[in-house]
Amino acid sequence: MASTFLSKPEPNQVLFEESSYARKIILNRPHKLNSLTYEMISQILRNLEVYEKDPTVKLLILKGKGKAFCAGGDVVGMVFTINEGHWSFGASFYKKQLTLDYMLATCRKPLVSLINGVVMGGGAGLSMSSMFRVVTENTVFAMPEAQIGLIPDVGASYFLSRLPGFFGEYLGLTGGRLNGNEILACGLATHFVLSKDLPLLEKALSEVAPWDASTISRVINGFSSKISLKKDSAFRRLETINKCFSRKTVEEILSMLENEAANGDNKWIIRAISSMKSASPTSLKIFLKSIREGRTKELKDCLSQDYTITCHMIRRSFNPDFFEGTKAKLLEKDKQPKDKIKVQEEVVLV
């Protein structure tokens, strides 16, 4: 999501570098965890269109500057903009963002996303459909949008629904965080490389030839490290996750989680229950329906649905959860949205 529309644009929000036949796209707002603005989206789109048509460009590398890959969109800026009476800008920005996500996903040139640090929301939209998704020991993935009254969007109903079992439902409904090892293990990433080796990997990728997928994969494999999951990793609880998150409704999922919590091994389950109960019930129910439908849809259709749903949310068609959630959790940070419907059973989808 979003951008600061009313403020003066920052300079050099995205850097573009050339290295032999490779082109690097570098998100450059490290002080804001590389959160996306309208100007960043526009710049990347313009350059991507040029790269697609240029026969001398053989490989694209996408990365972030600083400690984050991309923590999502500038949601606070979006809320300020809409509250100033420019809700339609939110819609036009979001359409442009989803257009970029689709262009990156369908790009004819091999795309390598170097995901070192935080990747959430809009950052996942940029990278999760890349041909190659390289994570490190610093990577943290999450889709926490339901906590502020949105839904895990930017194609999440597509890429989360392709994960083993019902792990995607778990991630989207709870906003659960994954480290680099877990991201690779569940299939969201293609490779794990230690952060200290990324400069050498970039150099090797810039010099690779030919530029086919198997050659690029072989180069990345040369820098890859083995992973091991911690004993308390959520991905080790896939059997329990499938048992709970395969239920048809949010209410049934919560009920199953509460039953499991009473049977021991409950620390991660208690966190999941707490997260779901503090999220927007509307967002949870819409996402559950969305990811279930997303299993049989193409990415383009999932992105189109995301656009429709999000436009309704920023117009307050359903309720004010997005604005109350952002105010409580990102602005005032008291964690208690004032006007949110708090009872799951009060929300009925038609």
Q: What is the pLDDT of residue 316?
A: 77
In this structure, which amino acid lies at residue 341? I
Given the residues 101, 153, 182, 202, select the one marked as catalytic.
Answer: 153
Q: What is the pLDDT of residue 175?
A: 97
Residues of the chain with pLDDT under 50: 1-7, 339-341, 343, 350
Given the residues 72, 73, 77, 172, select the one marked as catalytic.
Answer: 73
Q: What is the pLDDT of residue 169?
A: 98
Q: What is the pLDDT of residue 84?
A: 75
Q: What is the pLDDT of residue 75?
A: 73
Q: What is the pLDDT of residue 93?
A: 84
Active site residue 145: yes
Active site residue 212: no
Active site residue 153: yes
Given the residues 74, 101, 145, 306, select the one marked as catalytic.
Answer: 145
Name residue, tokens 């329990």. Answer: 240
Q: What is the pLDDT of residue 80?
A: 73
Q: What is the pLDDT of residue 327?
A: 67
Active site residue 175: no
Q: What is the pLDDT of residue 1?
A: 44
Query: SS3 sequence, the chain?
Result: CCCCCCCCCCCCCEEEEEECCEEEEEECCHHHCCCECHHHHHHHHHHHHHHHHCCCCCEEEEEECCCEEECCECHHHHHHHHHCCCHHHHHHHHHHHHHHHHHHHCCCCCEEEEECCEEECHHHHHHCCCCEEEECCCCEEECCHHHHCCCCCCCHHHHCCCCCCCHHHHHHHHCCCEEHHHHHHHCCCCEEECHHHHHHHHHHHHHCCCCCHHHHHHHHHCCECCCCCCCCCHHHHHHHHHHHHCCCCHHHHHHHHHHHHCCCCCHHHHHHHHHHHHCCHHHHHHHHHHHHHHCCCCHHHHHHHHHHHHHHHHCCCCCCHHHHHHHHHHHCCCCCCCCCCCCHHHCCCC
Given the residues 122, 125, 168, 294, select the one marked as catalytic.
Answer: 122
